[in-house]
Structures are given as C-alpha cells and as structure tokens.
C-alpha cells in the first residue's frame, strides 16, 4: 500500500504543475483550459443514452479531484460540486479561478472522505484522478456510498499495457514519475469496477499505438523515453451505474 508521505509528494508535484500552467496562461503559451469543455461534451454524449434529459437536468453532480476548473465547470444543469484536496491552493490563484462557473460550489476534500451524506448524488465524475489518489479502494467505497441507487459514475483514467504498468510501478516508487503514485492497466480497472459491483454500461479505450507514436514524435525527452520503453499511457473511459 502506498505511504502517506508518497501521496504528499504527488500532491506537491500537482501544485507545481498548476503553478507552471498558470505561468504559461499568463505568458499566452497555452489557452484557457478549454479541453475541459470538450471533455464535458464527450461525457454527456456517453451518458445521455442511459438517462432522459429531464432527469439529467435535475441531477446532483460532484466531480472528485476536479482541479481548479474541471469538467463540472461546463455542465449547465443540476446542482454541481467540485471536490479537490488542493482547493485552498487553487482558490488563491486568480488566473485559474476567474475561469470558474460561479454556479459550481468548489470544496476542499478528498475522494477517500467525501463530505456528503449517503445516496446524495445522481452522478459522480472522476477524470484522471484514480492514479493520483492515496487509497483507491477507499475512494471507490465513498463513490458507492454517496451515489443514489441508479446513479452514475463517469470514469476516465490513464492506463498502460500490462508491461507498461509493471515498469511504471518501478518508476513511481523511484519518484521518476512523482505525480502518479498509482498504476493501472485495462484489466485492473475493469476488476476494480466489478469488485464494487457497478454495472458497466459502456466503455472505450484509446489506442496505445497512437499514444506511443505520439510520445516518440514529441520534442520532450521524457515523452520520447516513455514511447521507446513502451510505458506510454492511453485512456480508459467508462459509464458505470449503481444498482
């Protein structure tokens, strides 16, 4: 099991990432985090076949590990909450918080202890978070606790091949990859979903070969190393439902 000290190092890395991102936004070298809006549109396309629009309009929704903005920022319906362990840091950053939708309530907290009562939410979003958390099982337990029967979990997580996962565990333990203390492949994520008895309504997996090729073409040495050593990550998406 991961140590608390290891998780804190990952959190420190995350703060540094967003400090650098802020500098890049100010300098004009990156845009205004518009990828969250694209992710929101993709989520709604995946989710809406399993619920009617009228019901969706009244959802209570939380995004765990939302960062400073999150998918939650672009959902224009229902009651919306963002939860992140670094919220005190984010809310002090005017460059990031000025991009927020004021209808979303952002809170400080972790997925291991979600500050809401049982069966409160209709939708839980967890995007690029499970490989950052301290205790994966505790997070999944909490998601199951706060979801209504019939409620949905929308999950996105970075995964690797079986070989890449084993290599990444070593890189993570050695702090070569400080920001991702957890490692997953597609099978381990499917097993995690099944262990907590979610119904898997849909899933999709991006292409490892494309991710590897992209890394090998990158101008950054770190990306090239990932590509040539076959440690490149790709994305797993799932719509899950609690019954």
Closest to 238 in 3D by CA, of 180, 184, 183, 190:
190
The values of phi and psi at residue 228, to 5°, are: -75, -20
pLDDT at 31 (0 to 100): 77
For residue 194, give every residue at least 6 positions away whose Cβ sits within 8 Å of its Cβ, in sequence order, or none.
Answer: 200
DSSP codes joined into one string, 72-96? GGG--SSEEEEEETTHHHHHT-HHH
pLDDT at 150 (0 to 100): 95
pLDDT (tens digit per residue) in 169-201 = 999 999 989 999 999 999 999 999 999 989 999
Coil/strand/helix, residue 48:
helix
pLDDT at 80 (0 to 100): 98
pLDDT at 199 (0 to 100): 95
The values of phi and psi at residue 135, to 5°, are: -135, 100
pLDDT at 144 (0 to 100): 97
pLDDT at 20 (0 to 100): 94
d(CA 147, CA 120): 6
Distance of CA 15 to the CA centre of its chain: 16
pLDDT (tens digit per residue) in 79-97 = 999 999 999 999 999 999 9
pLDDT at 235 (0 to 100): 98
| CB contact at 8 A, 86 and 92 | no
Coil/strand/helix, residue 185:
strand
pLDDT at 185 (0 to 100): 98
Q: Where are the domains of the chain?
A: 4-241
**pTM above 0.85?**
yes
pLDDT at 53 (0 to 100): 83
Closest to 182 in 3D by CA, of 167, 172, 193, 196:
172
CATH number of 4-241: 3.40.50.150
155 membership: H or E segment, kind and range: strand 147-159
| 59 Rama class: left (phi>0) / alpha (psi -120 to 50) / beta | beta
Around Cβ 113, how many Cβ atoms within 10 Å?
10
Q: Could you tell me the sign of the dihedral formed by the alpha carbons of 208, 124, 132, 142, in that order?
A: negative
- pLDDT below 50 — which residues of the chain? none
């Amino acid at each position: 099991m991961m140590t608390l000290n290891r998780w804190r190092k990952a959190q420190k890395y995350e703060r540094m990432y967003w400090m650098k991102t802020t500098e890049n936004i100010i300098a004009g070298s990156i845009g205004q985090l518009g990828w969250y809006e694209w992710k929101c549109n993709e989520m709604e396309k995946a989710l809406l076949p399993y619920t009617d629009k009228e019901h969706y309009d009244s959802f209570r929704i939380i995004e765990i590990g939302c960062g400073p903005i999150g998918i939650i920022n672009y959902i224009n319906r229902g009651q919306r909450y963002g939860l992140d362990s670094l919220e005190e840091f984010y809310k002090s950053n005017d460059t990031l918080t000025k991009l927020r939708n004021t209808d979303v309530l952002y809170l400080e907290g972790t997925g291991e202890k979600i500050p809401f009562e049982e069966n409160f939410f209709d939708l839980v979003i967890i995007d690029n978070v499970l490989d950052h958390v301290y205790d994966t099982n505790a997070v999944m337990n909490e998601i199951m606790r706060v979801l209504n029967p019939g409620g949905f979990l929308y999950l996105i997580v970075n995964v690797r091949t079986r070989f890449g996962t084993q290599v990444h565990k070593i890189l993570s333990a050695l702090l070569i990859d400080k920001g991702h203390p957890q490692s997953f492949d597609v099978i381990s994520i499917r097993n995690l979903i099944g262990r907590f008895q979610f119904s898997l309504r849909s899933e999709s997996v991006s292409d490892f070969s494309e991710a590897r090729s992209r890394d090998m073409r990158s101008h950054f040495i770190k990306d090239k190393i990932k590509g040539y050593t076959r440690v490149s990550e790709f994305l797993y998406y799932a719509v899950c439902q609690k019954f």
